[in-house]
Amino acid sequence: MGTPLAGTQPRQDPRMVGRMSCIAVCSVKGGVGKTSAAVNLAALAAMEGKTLLIDLDPQGSATYSLAVGERVPGGASSVALDGQIDAVVKTATVNLDVVPADFSLRRLDTELADVRRPRRRLRRMIEKLGEGYDHVILDCAPGIALSIEGILRAADLILVPVEPAALPMRGMDQLSAYLAGDRRLQSIPMVAFLSKVDRRRATHRRLADELPNERDDIIGVIPYAVEVEEMPLKRKPLVESAPSSRGARAYADLWRAVSERLAA
Ligand SMILES: Nc1ncnc2c1ncn2[C@@H]1O[C@H](COP(=O)(O)OP(=O)(O)O)[C@@H](O)[C@H]1O
Ligand SMILES: [Mg+2]
């Protein structure tokens, strides 16, 4: 059988053909490992299919870690509001593109306040940017603001890094309760992974050994590792800069667990 000529196939309903899967890496706290996870998981996703990482934090750490320029024509905040496709930039990693962030994103919440149906606007923007991709990964800014609520609506899975200690665990349960109370977010599964786990510390060791067995919403453990810490210096994901390191293997396990949840 020959290949059908381009243009002779009936147009498929875009909702029916393999829609991208969208993972939002988010947490109320900053500095917990969101960006490290978003960049490394995006690079792993890119080994399987076309992947877009959308950097939604004005600090632009994901943008920086992938060695992409931080100058966004018109400013990242207008991209977030209008979803301009020309904002997408290729990275040095095969199959991985990024929508960079810049400091203008700090104004996003104020700007959204003047927009009709702001949350829906953000969800649509993410869906528009994600067209043609197999995976979209959102690196969120910390906190729960109007913008985050809209961003999370685009997600098929919400992934939260949690440091293994009592207060961060409590923060995770608060986030989960907040999601459960929002009609448009309650159906989106939320899972967490233990982040920056230092096995020399008794509490870390105990929680890392117990929690993944006790709670099925904890799907992975990322060790505290120098190669993760150094990623912003090397400006490359670990699959490229240190593929056999402990950190790289832990992110690969996490990616498998995330993929299983997405398929469930
Ligand atoms: N597993 C880890 N081991 C060592 N350092 C880490 C690890 N995860 C994150 N870090 C470091 O902690 C800081 C915050 O991490 P980051 O991923 O930027 O968090 P967030 O995006 O939540 O603010 C960064 O300096 C990063 O390099
Ligand atoms: Mg970050």
CATH of the domain at 201: 3.40.50.300
Would you place residue 10 in the very low, low, confident or very high pLDDT band (cuts 50, 70, 90)? very low
Side by side, the strands of the sheet bearing 89-90 are 89-90, 96-99, 51-55, 135-139, 21-25, 157-162, 190-197, 218-223
pLDDT for the residue 123? 93
- Does a structural domain hold residue 6? no
Q: CA–CA separation, 37 vs 23, rounded Å?
A: 11
- Does a structural domain hold residue 130? yes
Q: CA–CA separation, 73 vs 137, rounded Å?
A: 22
Instruction: Please identify, by atom number, the ligand 1 atom nearest to the C-alpha of residue 31.
Output: 23
Instruction: Please identify, by atom number, the ligand 1 atom nearest to the C-alpha of residue 196.
Output: 1
- Does a structural domain hold residue 74? yes
- Does a structural domain hold residue 15? no
Domain span holding position 234: 21-263
- Does a structural domain hold residue 256? yes
CA of 29 to the centre of ligand 1 (A): 12
Any idea which residue has 């829906």 for tokens? 120
Strand partners, 197: 223
pLDDT for the residue 18? 65
What total of structural domains would you count in the chain? 1
Q: CA–CA separation, 17 vs 144, rounded Å?
A: 32
Contacts of 239 (CB under 8 A, 6+ apart): 40, 43, 44, 47, 248, 251, 252
CA of 82 to the centre of ligand 2 (A): 23
Would you place residue 264 in the very low, low, confident or very high pLDDT band (cuts 50, 70, 90)? confident
- Does a structural domain hold residue 122? yes
